[in-house]
Structures are given as structure tokens and as C-alpha cells.
Homo-oligomer: A and B are copies of this chain.
Amino acid sequence: MAIKIGILGYGNLGRGVECAIRQNPDTELAAVFTRRAPASLKIQTQSAKVASVDEIQNWTDKIDVLIVCGGSATDLPKQSPKYAKLFNLIDSFDTHAKIPEHFANVDKSAKEGGKVAIISVGWDPGMFSLNRLYANAILTEGKDYTFWGKGVSQGHSDAIRRVEGVQDGKQYTIPVDSALKAVRAGENPELTTRQKHTRECFVVLKEGADAAKVEKEIKNMPNYFSDYDTTVHFISQEELDKNHSGIPHGGIVLRSGSTNGGKNKHIIEYSLKLDSNPEFTSCVLLAYARAAYRLSKEGASGCKTVFDIAPAYLSAKSGEELRATML
């Protein structure tokens, strides 16, 4: 029998999970929960229901795992602790500094309900974190590097759009090639923020807006752009829609380490190149939903992260099959 998945929130991520379920025949979409009027939502899966989040507590015996697809700023800190006592639960909480607090809140709730929750699932945090851990456990002497991009940063794109005179905009984060090369060569460079990434902005101006003023304001924006070499291109809305409507992303995690008193150097590198950031993230969420379901069946409860999940739990294949085909 397929694992019954519930999706809470039907934005890019929720739609991505629905899409991932179609690629995983051991899972099925039971329901999508929304804060909007359910009738206003069109989903792709005919067999699944759309329900108001206010009725979610009626679904506890019809859903094996709830995947919470809200944002980390305001949604997940409330939703995950609230629902982890009712459902096995997956979220993609990505505010790195607040993970310990979020973990504690979700853990308390999940233990209360006897459920399994896995938080901060995705690629960073998620697959990148895993690779940092594995690489650090193996090469205990060394240096870590994470590069992001080339890809669209939603936060930086939002920041551009808040600038006066801007009609629309997209921002790409781009790793600096020379920095990456130095790391790959085992040079262990010390890299400042500016030396690791550049930021490229594509901006559509409102009619009559002052391009020079907009460019200056973007480039000097603290936290977002002032610490980076930023390029601003002004283009038409048509051009933006045509060439920049995707949500690609990716990045690279490296550990440059040594053995035998520094005599021998080793580089471990993990990279992702993604046409669709939310669709890939959704695939990771669904694999961990499978793990949460299995762990729950084994009697586990409480909050976990990707660090706590044995890899075999993620695959639909049996241990025997995995050993015979992938080891």
C-alpha cells in the first residue's frame, strides 16, 4: 500500500511535491491543505482532495506523512510544532541560525504525539549539510567551502523589487571561478564574501524611473548587495519573462583536507546543478517522507534531521536490492 502524503501549502514547493509523488509509485497524494478557499485551488492530482487547513485534524488517520511547504520566516516556526503532534512531518526550515530552537519546539511536539518529524530537509540545509558532515568525519583536518549558484535567489530578487522605481527583477548568485579553482587546487584560500560570489541583477524599470538612482540603491543595499560585486542590467518585462522566468539553482560543497601530517592532500566535492530549485527540493522532501514513515512504523518518535537518518530509509528498494545494485 502506498504511503499517503499530505501537502500543507500549495506554492512552488507544494506543487513540486505533488510532481515528485507522480515519480514515486510507493507514495500517493491524499490531500492538499490550504489557507485559501479550497474551491479556489486547482491541483494536478484527480484522486486527491483539497481541504482547508482548519480541517487538518480530521485527517490524522488518512495521512501517513504531512509535508509542510510553507516559508521559514513565519510559516514553519508555527506550523511544524503545531502539526508534529498530529502527523509524521517533514519541513524545509532553512534559517540556519534558528535551527536549534526550531528543533527543540518540533521535538517536544512530535514526542507528545508519538510522531516522527524530520526538519530542515532540502539541499541547503539538507544534502549540502550531509556532505559537510561526511567530509568532516572523514577528513578531520581540513577546510570547508560552500559556493552557491549559479542560481536565482528569491530573497535578493524580492529585495530588488522593493526598490522604488523597480517594476520587476531577478537576481542570480554566481560563484567566482578563480576562487573555486583555488579551492579545487588545494590552496586552502581564506575567502571574503566578495571573493566567493558575485551578484547579477536583471531589472525592469517602472515608466519614468531613474536608472542610475535604482542601480546605486541596489548596489549599496546593506546585507543583500553592498558586500558583493554586483552587476545591474536593465531589460524589458518581455525579456525578463522570456529569459529569466525559471528558478534554477545549485552550488558546490568542498572539503580540502590532508592526511599523514599534511603530506597528502584530498579534495571532496559535491555539486548540484538544478533547473528547478523547488522541484529538486521537493524530491528530497519526499524521500525523507518515506524515511519518516518507515521510522514511525518501527516505533520511533521525536524530531530528527538528515544527520539522523540512515540512507537506506530513503530508497524504495530493499536492503538486499540496494546491496546488490548500488554498493
Q: Which residues of A contact B (CB under 8 A)?
A: 16, 19-20, 23-24, 96, 99-100, 103, 120, 125, 127, 129-134, 136-141, 184, 259-260, 263-276, 279-280, 282-284, 287, 290, 305-312, 314-316, 319-320, 322-324, 326-327
A130 touches B141 (CB 8 A): no
A108 to B23, CA, bound (A): 37
Number of copies: 2
Q: Is the CB of A141 within 8 A of B23?
A: yes
- A323, B307: Cβ atoms closer than 8 Å: yes
Chain B neighbourhood of A137, CB < 8 A: 287, 290, 311, 314-316
In angstroms, Cα B96 to Cα A16, docked, is 36
The answer for the CA separation of A316 and B28 in the assembled complex, in Å, is: 39
Indicate if the CB atoms of A306 and B315 lie closer than 8 Å. no
Judge whether B272 and A267 touch: CB under 8 Å. yes
Residues of chain B with a CB closer than 8 A to A322's CB: 133, 307
Give the docked Cα–Cα distance between A290 and B137 (Å): 10
Residue of B nearest to A326 (CB): B132
Which residue of A96, A260, A272, A287 has the most chain B CB atoms within 10 A of its CB atom?
A260
Contact A133 B324 (CB under 8 A): no
Structural contact, B310 and A309, CB atoms closer than 8 A: yes
> Closest residue of chain B to A248, judged by CB?
B264
* Inter-chain contacts of A308 with B (CB < 8 A): 310-312, 319
